[in-house]
Amino acid sequence: MQRTVILASTSRYRRELLTRLRLPFDVHSPEVDETPLSGETPHDLAVRLALEKANAVAVRFPEAVVIGSDQVADLAGEALGKPGDHARATAQLRRMRGQTLIFQTAVAVVCKATSFVQRDIAPVRVVFRDLSDAAIEHYLQAEQPYDCAGSAKSEGLGIALLDSIDSDDPSALVGLPLIRTSRMLRAAGVDLL
């Protein structure tokens, strides 16, 4: 029996990435409070939120295999979230210029009916160029990445902001590490091929 697969996310980026697996899936909002806990590291925050998102939807659909994911931009141990607007995005990119960030991209797969739970994280090391204020403004006007952790879309013009990307899971920077997700789905009994 092939179980229903559900993506516990409202992110259009994660939805687009998951379609690459050519697997039928549903999408449901996890409605999870994403506020960091006191003293929580960006790594721990991403892992906790990925699992909480998967669990929140799995409770409603216990027979389904549910994927939760979260990404936190980690600047020297400080979590940078989605900027939400132009002013915050400008401030983020100014702080990030010339810096190395780790984008902590976590994924969790849960099926309540089988008691299946796995989680993993795909850290992505990203080196930002030393950007001028004019370059930052031009980029933000062009792409308006206000719904992206770290204020940049590497799959678009944001790639021009970077000196390098280092990752063992290429889709992780966009928001869903598909290599790890595929591994977990197979372990949960979902036939991808």
Output the CA torsion sign for 165, 152, 22, 32: positive
pLDDT band at 54 (very low <50, low <70, confident <90, very high): very high
DSSP-derived secondary structure for the chain = -PPPEEEE---HHHHHHHHTT----EEE------PPPTT--HHHHHHHHHHHHHHHHHHH-TTSEEEEEEEEEEETTEEE----SHHHHHHHHHHHTT-EEEEEEEEEEEEGGGTEEEEEEEEEEEEE----HHHHHHHHHHH--TTSTTS--TTTGGGGGEEEEE-SSTTGGGT--HHHHHHHHHHTT----
4 vs 2, more confident: 4
Interaxial angle between packed helices 12-19 and 178-187, expressed in degrees from 0 to 180 and rounded to the nearest 10: 70
**pLDDT, position 109:** 98
Tokens of 121: 């994280």
Q: What is the C-alpha separation between 97 and 94, in angstroms, rounded?
A: 6
Residues 24-33, mean pLDDT to the nearest whole number: 97
pLDDT (tens digit, 9 = 90+) per residue, 10-27? 999 999 999 999 999 999
The single-letter code of the amino acid at 57 is V
**pLDDT, position 101:** 97
Active site residues: 70
Residues 122-130, mean pLDDT to the nearest whole number: 97
pLDDT (tens digit, 9 = 90+) per residue, 68-97? 999 999 999 999 988 999 999 999 999 999
**pLDDT, position 2:** 85
| Domains by residue range for the chain, with CATH | 5-187 (3.90.950.10)
Secondary structure string (H, E, C) spanning 69-113 = EEEEEEECCEEECCCCCHHHHHHHHHHHCCCEEEEEEEEEEEEHH
Residue 114 above 80 pLDDT?
A: yes
Residue 1 above 90 pLDDT?
A: no
